[in-house]
Amino acid sequence: MADILLIEDDVTIRTALSRGLGDLGHAVSSSPTAFDGLRLAVDGRPDLIVLDLGLPDLDGVELLRMLRAVSRVPVIVATARDGDAEMVPVLDAGADDYVVKPFSAAQLDARIRAVLRRAGEPAPEQLKVGGLRIDPRARSAALDGTTLDLTPREFDVLHYLAARPGEVVTKRELLTEVWQLPYGGADKTVDVHLSWLRRKLGETASEPRYLHTVRGVGVKLVEPA
């Protein structure tokens, strides 16, 4: 079904997942270390990577950032860490999804199929809101002809809002649809990213142009008057 690269240092987990995913029809290669995993990711060009965070030679989040610098391959983080404080930085670094240990190969397979379905969906055409241009295929955005220097998550938030111009989007919706997180305790993360976006759009919450807060409801992206 898919070529999967499993980067996991625990030999018992690595062996069990490799066997289980193989039985489900996937071709699985594996590595116990970050740097060898990075080499396999670049040379082997897998369809998807399953990445453990607790690697012996480099923290998994750092490896994820390195992967994102050279590839848009879908990444599912498999970790014993749980909670918003641990997972928000992982998703901000570019993970497409995550699973918390312990989990079965069947559960991981369901996540793999869901992520690959999303990755295989055709990208929409460029979005235009006023002087803002967003290219989902290139994952780039420009304002009045000047390219915006956005992080992966900033781009995701901007893209989500631009696809719904004039529509008020709640923090709950942003957390569940952009971060793939259940709502609860992480709304400050949304506030921080919106603040960063405003700064890069050359505006403030008190003097908005594109990003308008609807107090007690959410935020909307509109064409400047």
Q: Read off the amino acid at residue 164.
A: R
Residue 26, exposed/middle/buried by CB under 10 A (0-12, 13-18, 19+)? Answer: buried
Question: pLDDT at position 182, please?
Answer: 65
SS (H, E, C) the chain: CCEEEEECCCHHHHHHHHHHHHHCCCEEEEECCHHHHHHHHHHHCCCEEEEECCCCCCCHHHHHHHHHHHCCCCEEEEECCCCHHHHHHHHHCCCCEEEECCCCHHHHHHHHHHHHHHHHCCCCCCEEECCEEEECCCCEEEECCEECCCCHHHHHHHHHHHCCCCCCECHHHHHHHCCCCCCCCCHHHHHHHHHHHHHHCCCCCCCCCCEEEECCCEEEECCCC
What sign for the dihedral angle of Cα 166, 167, 170, 175?
Answer: negative
Question: pLDDT at position 202, please?
Answer: 95
Q: Do domains 2-117 and 127-221 have the same CATH topology?
A: no
Q: Which of 10-24, 72-86, 99-113, 179-193 has the lowest mean pLDDT?
A: 179-193
**What tokens does 86 get?**
């641990």
Which residues, other chains included, contact 72 with Cβ-Cβ below 8 Å and sequence gap of 6+?
139
> Using an 8 Å Cβ cutoff, are 119 and 137 in contact?
no
pLDDT at 140 over 80: yes
Q: What is the average per-residue pLDDT within 39-56?
A: 94
SS (H, E, C) 101-164: CCCCHHHHHHHHHHHHHHHHCCCCCCEEECCEEEECCCCEEEECCEECCCCHHHHHHHHHHHCC
Question: pLDDT at position 19, please?
Answer: 95
Domain ranges of the chain: 2-117, 127-221
Q: What is the average per-residue pLDDT within 138-167?
A: 93
CATH for 2-117, options being 3.40.50.1100, 3.40.50.2300, 3.40.50.150, 1.10.8.60: 3.40.50.2300
CATH topology of domain 127-221: Arc Repressor Mutant, subunit A (1.10.10)
Q: Which residue's entry shows tokens 């950032």? A: 65
Question: pLDDT at position 64, please?
Answer: 94
Cα separation, 84 vs 65, whole angstroms: 19
**What tokens does 37 get?**
């995993």
The rounded mean pLDDT for the chain is 90
Q: Tens digits of per-residue pLDDT, 100-131? A: 889 999 999 999 999 998 887 765 678 999 99
pLDDT at 56 over 90: yes
Q: What is the average per-residue pLDDT within 203-207?
A: 94
Exposure letters 111-126 (e unless 16+ CB within 10 A, then b)? bbeebbeeeeeeeeee
Residue 180: which pLDDT band, with cuts at 50, 70 and 90?
A: confident
Q: pTM for this one?
A: 0.67
pLDDT at 163 over 80: yes
